[in-house]
Structures are given as structure tokens and as C-alpha cells.
Structure 1
Amino acid sequence: MNINISTLGELKKSGYKPKSVKEEIRQNLIRKLQHKENAFPGIIGYEDTVIPDTERALLSRHNILFLGLRGQAKTRMARQMISLLDEYIPIVEGSEVNDSPFDPLSRYARDMVSELGDATPISWVSREQRYSEKLATPDVSVADLVGDIDPIKAANMKLNYADERVIHFGIIPRSNRGIFVINELPDLQARIQVSLFNILQEGDIQIRGFKVRMPLDILFVFTANPEDYTNRGSIVTPLKDRIESQIITHYPKNVENSLLITEQEANVHEDQQHVHISDMIKRLIEQVAFEARNSEYVDKKSGVSARLTIAAYENAVSAGERRAIINKEKSTYIRIADLQGIIPAITGKIELVYEGEQEGPLQVAVNLLDKSIRSVFSQYFPNPDSFKKRKQSAAAENPYRAVIQWFDKGNAVQLLQDVNDKQYETSLLKVEGLKELIKGKFPHANAKEQLLLMEFVLHGLASYSLISKKVVENETRFSDLLGTMMNFGNSTEEENEEF
């Protein structure tokens, strides 16, 4: 479309055919589907669930409600719909409500078209300008959404309050011929939700006592969190009935998708590129979120946002960066000990049930990190549990035997968070059998990877209660498990002897 066209007459000669916003989105979506284009780029994990549901709703010309827990890309899905709008559309120049030159709604546009005819000036509105969004806070009023009488306009134009031109339109009429999104719909007071009934069903608005009927052309998209239904409010039934498609969102169903989301969203700057983070560390961070979603201490109804792993990833990188700065090192790898730095990202992103509150958010976060280590450890190394309570011959094949025996002799190792790479290496090499274990399992690992895997083995064995781990401020101390216990029975001694 030639956006240099400036009058209604020129627009008619060009052959332009107006269409509704829902029809416009439908046609553009059909073209994308025909050309195998992704209508929602950057949305990961919804390829077989939410995205097909959304596409079906848009093809049906439906208004949409995205219902899901926090951090499930509900608003992002709505914002991606901008790409389904035409690049530009013509409006009557100066119109507050994006009046179509062919079918003007407002008094201003009707008067102009009636007076000037084909000479009516038009302007062009981009697709980005046709997207509006409102957060449903408790202080939102009908005037904010729909409109009200503007006494200042009436005074300036010397009009009485019976004149339609004194109306100040709210954000919904100003979103005419576009997409309008209301986030956190249940937070909108019930009496305000009622004001949306006519707009959704009949497509028109009612302002004060004016006999105004404006059949608005809008695609409505709403987002809501199921938890809001009990905490702050609810969606009134008649309004929910008028929203044609309700689409349920969800968290990533596997670690691979979660990894992709975190890497895509994490705000890691170019000046942090010298901090290297291994795939194993990334998986440990992602596993924390999965452990939290299954934890008895975390409120499942509240959910665990994908923002947890994004913030944790950023904290982990910053922990390594800080250590490198302190030790004046040009590059570094993220260590397991650096993951103590992600605890603030965990405690701020989880809602605890009563039992969790008794444990305390800090202890719950530490436990989640330990569970993550335990879960991921068996993906890289043999499960230590498989060697328990087995015959002596099988116990002799235990790859961890030499390491555990070294600790059984009363030895211990301390790993400080901020030590340089040389001191870190020296501490790990003290543990007999540890380097040999890594060389046997990962013969192609480089020196940095070997050290990380050596540290991982210590944390993993501690998570399986085979050695003791104690974290005090910036120090992690590994020692003999039995030596740290005040009482232990014969059965424990026998089990330890098998190792």
C-alpha cells in the first residue's frame, strides 16, 4: 500500500478495500501458515500446545483469554500478534479513535468526511501504534477504559455537556481497529468488568448519558493468573462467557526447552563473555526450577516463574565475573560453589506454604539447589545408590570408593568461593582418587572441565549422603560423613564399610 496517499479520493482510486482487524489478522495468519512461517517467533515450548490453540482462535476471529501461572509468556504471546497486523492502515487525519475514512465513527470524523468528501485528508497508522495494553490495577475506572465527559474541553470549545464532542475517549475507543490487551483481568473490579459486556458482545460503547453507539473494531486479548481468582478477585461469569477462546498456558515441559528460554532471555552483556558457563552448570540452574515446582515447601498454585532461572543464570555469571575481577583473571569458568550466588534469585521467586515458612526461604533455596545437584549428578556419573547394600565384589567396583575412603581417614577439603584458579585446583587435587575418577569417565575433558567435574563429584557425593558438606558464608567444607555425626549405629558402619 502506498502510504504517500493523502486524501480519501486518492485512496478510493488506489482500490484499497477496508477490512476488520480480526479479518486482517486472519488473512495475515493464513499467509504465514501457507509459507510455513512462525507466527510467534521467540516463544519456546508452545509449538504443539498454546501456539496452535492461539492460531485456531485467531482463525475463528475470537477474542482470547490466556490463563496461566506467572512467567508463562502470556503477555509476550499477545505482543507477538502485532506482526499479524497490516503494516499500515489509513485513518481520518486527526482522529482520536482511528476512524476509517470509509466508515467514520466519531463526530469529528463524520463531520470532516461529510464536509470535505473525497478531499478528506488521511494519515497512516503503523501496526505498532495499533497495539494498546493496560494493566488491570484496582484503581482503573470506567473513564480510563471507555471515556467520560471532559469539562476542560467543553469550556475551551464553548460547548454544553449535551454535545458529543465534549467526550474524552478512554483507551479502548482509542484502540479502535487494533489490538487491546488487559493484563491480570481478575484484578479489575467487578463493576468495571461489567462495562466491557457491551463492547465484547455488541462491539459498541456507552459513555455517561450520551446516545452514542460506536461499533468498535477491536481484537481483545486478556491475561489472567488462576491464583488471582482466590487472592484478589475473579472474572465475572458473564464477561468470561463473552470471551470466545480461553487458552491454558504452561511451564516448559523439559529441561531442553527451559535452557533455550533462559539463554534467550538472560541479560548477559558483551563484557561478561570472558565468563564461561558449562552445559552442566546450565542444567543445574534449570533443574532448580523443576525441583521447586515439585517441592512440598513451595506453593504449587502460585507457580515458579521462568524468571527464576533467568535471574539465577545472570547471578551465576556475575558470581564468576566478580571472582575473576578480585583475582585479576582474564577469563574464568563458573564453578559449583558459584551457585551459592543464585540463592537470592531463588528466594525472591518462590512462594512458600506453611511448612516452607517454618523452614525459612533461605534453607528451602539451599535444599532446592542440593536436590538439583542430586538429580543432575546421575546424568553424568553412576548413581551412588546403585552401589549400596551390594556384595563385596560389586562394592569393589564402586568408582567412588577411593574418594570416600580418603575422607574416611579423617581428611577434609575446603573450597573458598573467591579463590583463584590455582588455589581451586590445589584444593581439589588433595582428594585422592578424584582426578583418576574424572579421567576414567571423561577422558576428553580439558583441564578446566576436569576441575569442575571434580568439584561436582564432591557435591554429588554429599547430596547422596556419602560425605559431609558444610557451607559457612563463603566456604564449602567436605569431610567424613560419620565423623561429623554424634551418633551412628552398626547398620551405618556396615553400609560405610561396603564403600
Structure 2
Amino acid sequence: MSASNKTEDLVRRSYSSKPKYTEVMPGVPEDYKDIRTLGDLLKINYKHVTVEEQLRGNLVAKLKAGEHPYPGIIGYDDDVVPAVNRAILSGHDILLVGQIGQAKTKLAEAIAHNLLSPIPVVRGTVTNDMPTSIPEDHMIALLSDKEVIRTAPEFTVSRECEDIIRQDKLETKIDWISGADRFKYILSTPDISVKDLVGQIDAIKIAKKGVELYSMESYSAGQLLQARHGILCIDELPVLDPRKQVSLLSVLQEGRFTTGAYPVVFRPDVKIIATANPIDYTHSGKIIEPLFDRLKSHVDTHYPRTVEDEMLITVQEARIADSKNVFLPSFMVRTIAGVTQATRNHKDVNHDKGVSVRMSVHSMEMMVGEAERTRSITLGVKAVPRFCDMHCIHQSSKFELAEMEDTRENRRNLLDSVISEVLKEVSLGYVSAIAPEQIAKMKNEFAKNKAFQVSQALPGGGGGSNGKKGDSDYESQLSKFPALRQAVNDTASAMKEEQKALAERAKALGVRTDIISITQDLNGEFTASVTEVILEGLRHIQPPLLDKKENSYGLAQQ
């Protein structure tokens, strides 16, 4: 049998026979990493599966195994996740409806990362060209270096892919690309064009290569085809011009599209996940009705409903440059999350615009930067945020006012008020556990020693790498206030248990724990942060024990 006949026999047997492998995921052979050439694919009778089958099959497997299908998506287990799962099991394209900072895009990305199987594509192709999607006779012609006879004007693989197969034959290199690499993101802006979505006849290619106007070589792929066999996320869909929205209709209805007068049908095998703000979605009518209808599942998202969820999201999303040199006490993360939630729910804040979870994330990053600026860098200690650092979050807190004039001064005053209330609430939560007789002892100590100095610049205990220490550092001052020191130590012990619980829950959800795990090198900085919590709480007990004047706490006037 000639080489040409052997090749033809291999292709026909591969296309018509059952797979010779066991799947570990939909469309993924158990030894897929060893399959590196087109010949390897044909020998095992490889059969690819659609995106819809991949999403459904992988979701079913995860649900059976009791796994969370979207690691890193927090606070949605009771409503949003079940709704998304229903949509995927039903084979629907999805519209996620929610305000800014509700993890809509992150959820779409998590679906692609966790529910799409790896697929085999010809190395060097832009449009994720799977060779087994080529019709049988076309494949034989390419491997035999014969002319491809096209009976239907339909795109299967790019001309570049065909040229590679024609040149390298069965040794054509195959790469297995992940779902993450088949996730394409578009932010809807006025300058997005129809050509950006569906591709275009490229005049430059025509001029450089001398190809014919309607040759496949003159086509440049748009986002729909670049996301082929994957997920296309269209952020803020209502912003997309209605004329451009029309280009998505046939993909959602029939799984196909054309571009202009180009006489070729494209089937991208793509799932569309779009996002929209409730204002645009419900009032403006900016999503054209046919498209609104074809996005079969509409899922409402929301902000974290508990402080605990907001805390975990904050820890997960915060970008910390020098994480080995940072420790975030759970009570500081709770304070930041509490400020965001109180601002979000405030009667004078614009609820239509919302207050993003990014306010918590950016504020936590700001607190770390402030701790580094004022202490960590100069004193050679870990960056551990304190209550006295809170003022810095003004530059990272973004919201609009509704019931009063939306000026910088009014926003600053409102945020100051919110911060004061949250500091009071958090600190009282710890001070309420201190026994009355301990309070009485602390009162006597302040009557004798007058005041306790607090400052961003004061070290916690002087145990830093540069050895700086003075009589005014926190631990030295505590030596003059034995009852206060005991209260700080007792509270710190309780806080460490809270810290462990936070780290355990974070670990269970796949959230980083490095910046919230207690270490032995805190050099008094944790003690200083706890001390400020106790001092602040003593201001708010009834009757108040302490007053605060500038940078010192002293006995309140009775």
C-alpha cells in the first residue's frame, strides 16, 4: 500500500471509528499531554466535544465530587452560583446583571478557567484551529498535498492552519490549550466596531500577498473567532452600539455568523457571557430586544451580604507587593470591610451607582502602604496596619452622594463619620469582654500616669532590624499600665483565635493565607495594633473611661 493510501486509510478509520482512549474530562484523553502531533490524534480516533458539552460535563463532574465549580467566587453560594449552574446545565448564554464591583467578569473568567476542557489546536494558529474539525475529505487532500474541493462556503480552519498541515503532514505540531487561553474579554466602548467582533476583509493582506478579495487569506479574525471553542465575555453590553449588538444575534440563535458580503459562514462554537448594570438593563433599554431575548439566562449579582464575605474577598483580591513583610490582623480587615458596607448602606450615598468591593480592596492595599511608609521601611519591622492609619483610605474610597451635594468636602465628612462609627463598633466588640474590675484598675493607672501616646511613627516594641527603640514605644508604655497590658494580652489571645478561624475559612475557599497567618516576627507591631483597639474602645464604654486628644489617650472628665 502506498504512503498516500496509508494516510487516507488512517484518516477514514479515525473519522469513522470510536475513540481508543478513556476521557478524564469531556474531550480529553487520559494521556493527552503525550499527544503532540496530528498523527497522534488520528491514531487514537480523537473526537472533540463542543463548548456546551465541555461546560456541562465538567460542571456535572464537579457537582458529583462535591467541589466548588468556581474557586475564588465568594458570597454567591446561595443564589448566584445555583443560577449560573442552572444556565450551564441548560446550555444557555448568560447575562450577568449587577452594579460595579460585583465580580461579574471574575465569575465569567472562573467559568472558562474551571469548566472548559483543554483542546488540541494546531500550533501557531490564532483561531484555535482544531484539526479534527476539518472535514474528512479535506483532511485527506491536505495530507496528500492535493487541492481541497470546498462543497460549502464554511470556515473550518484558517488558511494558515491548512498550509501548516499541508507542509508538516502527520508531524503537524499540536498544543493543548486551556480554557483560560480561550477566554476573550471585550469592554464595550463606543470605538468597538462590527469588524472587531466578526472580523474583516483585510486590505493590507490583499496588498501584501496579492490574494483575491474573497480568498480566505484576505480574512482577519475578529473577537468571535479568536474566542472559538471558548467563552467571549462582553462587559457592559448596553454600552455597545445597537448596530453592533445586531452582529451577535445569529451567533446566539444559530451558532453562526457572516461578515459583510464575505461568502463564508463561520461557526465559532462559543458561549457568550455578557454583563450589564441594572440602570442600563432595566430603564434605558440599551440592549436591543432580540439580543435581550436570545441571552437566555439573566442572573442578578449582588454585593457581599456579610462582613465576613467582604473580608475574605478583600484578602483574596488585595495586591500586596511585599507579602512576606505584611500581616493583616483580622480586626483591621473587619474594620475596612465594615467601612465599605456602612458606606454602601448609608442613606446619603447613591445606591443606584453602588459602592464597589474594590473600595475594601483598595483601602486595604492603602493601609498596608501607609504602614510601610510610616513604620515598616524606616524601623525594619513588619507592616501591620493600625487604627491610626485609617485616615489614608480617603484617597481609595470612591462613592457618590445622592441626598446632599456631591462635593469632595461632603464625601470626606461622610466617610469620617462612617469610619468613627465603625471604629467604635469594632473596638467595643472587644472591650465589652473586659471585666469591670479590670476597667477600674485601668482608670487608676490613667489617673496616675496621665496619658498613653499613639502615633503612626511609634514602634510597637523596638525589635526591628535597625534596633530603634525609645521610652515611648508601645510596649515600653504598656509597662507603666499593667492592667491595660493585661487587657491587651487577653484580647490579643482572643484575636489570635479569630485570626486562625479566618485563615482556616480562607484556606477552605482557596483564598491566600500568607498575609493573615500569625508569625513570630511581629516585633511588637501586633501588640501596638491591639493596644489601639482597646484604647479606642475605652472611649466608648459607658461612662467613657478615656478621651482622645490629638495623639494621646487620657482619662475622660467625669
Seen in structure 2, the aligned counterparts of structure 1 residues 215 and 444 have a Cα distance that, compared at 3 Å, is closer
Deviations 1:265-302 (A, max 9, x none): 222344652x5443222221221111111112322222
Which range is displaced more, 400-409 or 309-318? 400-409
* Distance apart, 1:314 and its partner CA: 2.2
Seen in structure 2, the aligned counterparts of structure 1 residues 190 and 453 have a Cα distance that, compared at 3 Å, is same
Aligned to 1:52: 82
Which range is displaced more, 80-89 or 226-235? 226-235
How far apart in 2 are the matches of 1:413 and 1:180? 58
Contact 2:257 2:267 in 1 (8 A): yes
Aligned to 1:391: none
| Residues 1:300 and 2:355 aligned together | no
* Distance apart, 1:36 and its partner CA: 2.3
Q: Which residue, out of 231, 235, 239, partners 1:187? A: 239
Q: Which residue, out of 400, 410, 418, partners 1:351? A: 400
Aligned to 1:455: 532
| Residues 1:223 and 2:275 aligned together | yes
| Residues 1:368 and 2:422 aligned together | no
Seen in structure 2, the aligned counterparts of structure 1 residues 437 and 330 have a Cα distance that, compared at 3 Å, is closer
Supply the AA of the counterpart residue of 1:353. A
| Residues 1:315 and 2:366 aligned together | yes
How far apart in 1 are the matches of 2:86 and 2:74? 18
| Residues 1:245 and 2:297 aligned together | yes
| Residues 1:171 and 2:171 aligned together | no
Aligned to 2:120: 89
How far apart in 2 are the matches of 1:191 and 1:464? 63
Seen in structure 2, the aligned counterparts of structure 1 residues 94 and 75 have a Cα distance that, compared at 3 Å, is closer
Alignment of 1:69-88 (within 5 A): 69-80=99-110, 81-88=112-119
How far apart in 2 are the matches of 1:319 and 1:20? 50
Contact 1:187 1:233 in 2 (8 A): no
* Distance apart, 1:16 and its partner CA: 1.4
Alignment of 1:450-489 (within 5 A): 452-460=529-537, 462=539, 466=544, 475-476=550-551
Alignment of 1:135-154 (within 5 A): 135-154=187-206
| Residues 1:420 and 2:459 aligned together | yes
Aligned-partner SS, 1:180: strand
Alignment of 1:390-469 (within 5 A): 415-421=454-460, 422-425=471-474, 435=484, 438=487, 442=491, 452-460=529-537, 462=539, 466=544
* Distance apart, 1:139 and its partner CA: 0.5
Which range is displaced more, 398-407 or 185-194? 398-407
| Residues 1:205 and 2:257 aligned together | yes
Please give the TM-score of this superposition, normalised by the length of structure 1: 0.78
Seen in structure 2, the aligned counterparts of structure 1 residues 259 and 117 have a Cα distance that, compared at 3 Å, is same
Aligned-partner SS, 1:355: coil
Which range is displaced more, 178-187 or 356-365? 356-365
Stretches of structure 1 that go unaligned for 5 or more consecutive residues are 385-396, 483-495
Supply the AA of the counterpart residue of 2:388. A
Contact 1:413 1:431 in 2 (8 A): no
Contact 1:338 1:417 in 2 (8 A): yes
Aligned to 2:208: 156
Aligned to 1:340: 391
Which range is displaced more, 324-333 or 164-173? 324-333
Seen in structure 2, the aligned counterparts of structure 1 residues 281 and 82 have a Cα distance that, compared at 3 Å, is closer
| Residues 1:63 and 2:140 aligned together | no
Over the residues paired in the alignment, what is the CA RMSD in angstroms? 4.1
Aligned to 2:23: none
Seen in structure 2, the aligned counterparts of structure 1 residues 314 and 164 have a Cα distance that, compared at 3 Å, is closer
Seen in structure 2, the aligned counterparts of structure 1 residues 100 and 451 have a Cα distance that, compared at 3 Å, is closer
Contact 1:285 1:313 in 2 (8 A): yes
* Distance apart, 1:342 and its partner CA: 2.6
Contact 1:414 1:478 in 2 (8 A): yes
Aligned to 1:134: 186
* Distance apart, 1:335 and its partner CA: 2.6
Aligned-partner SS, 1:155: helix
Contact 1:438 1:453 in 2 (8 A): no
How far apart in 2 are the matches of 1:242 and 1:187? 18
How far apart in 1 are the matches of 2:340 and 2:480? 32
Alignment identity in percent? 31
Stretches of structure 2 that go unaligned for 5 or more consecutive residues are 1-28, 136-153, 461-470, 497-523
